[in-house]
Amino acid sequence: MKLYIKYMVSVRCKQEVQAKLDKLGLHYGTVNLGEMEFKGDITPQQHAQLQQELSHLGLELLDQHKGRLIERIKAVIIDLVHHTDAQPKIKNSEYISQRLDKDYPSIAKLFSEATGVTIEHSIIAHKIERVKELLLYDELSLSEIAHKLNYSSVAHLSGQFKKETGLTPTFFKQLKHKRRHL
């Protein structure tokens, strides 16, 4: 069972939530920023106790409907970046709004509150992971990768890649070749 926590945006929050889960004797698998996964179901009483404990931290549990919506948003982002051969030529916000049939500002606010990152940053992170994957496959040029992932230019892709990873795409690709020869 997965629950989402509104406003949980720091490592300290994560640690405090884990302490509350331990205090309540709840068996959880993972706790990430904005979400936690339990090894089984929790009772309505445990849910209420958890909500009360979290409120002392200034946090709140999202209802299951909102949690499912966040999962759908994540799925649309993954589909957009990883499973679509040609990126849509509309804004990401329009694409996501159309796919979910929801108002973008409201889903963007919900997503940010629950995960601690914006939808756009989540898309960027997935795009960078996709770029890494395509660089490692070594089948496409950087220019082809930029076009495939709907970057305005190779320079834009390279700048975003360096900002996220600290490496240039070319250096990242060279690391792969160096590892082979070691």
Compute how many other C-beta atoms are within 10 angstroms of the C-beta atom of residue 93.
Answer: 15
Tokens of 50: 């958890």
Q: What was the pLDDT predicted at 87?
A: 63
pLDDT digits (tens, 9 = 90+) for 40-63: 888 999 999 999 999 988 888 888
Is the pLDDT at 180 greater than 70, yes or no? no
Q: How many residues are given for the chain? A: 182
Homologous superfamily (CATH) of 67-181 is Homeodomain-like (1.10.10.60)
pLDDT digits (tens, 9 = 90+) for 78-131: 998 888 766 667 888 999 999 999 999 999 999 998 888 999 999 999 999 999
Higher pLDDT, 178 or 72: 72
Residue ranges of the domains in the chain? 2-61, 67-181
Phi and psi at residue 90, to the nearest 5°: -110, 165
Q: Report the mean per-residue pLDDT for the chain.
A: 88
Residue tagged 């089984």 (tokens): 40
Does residue 136 register a pLDDT over 60?
yes
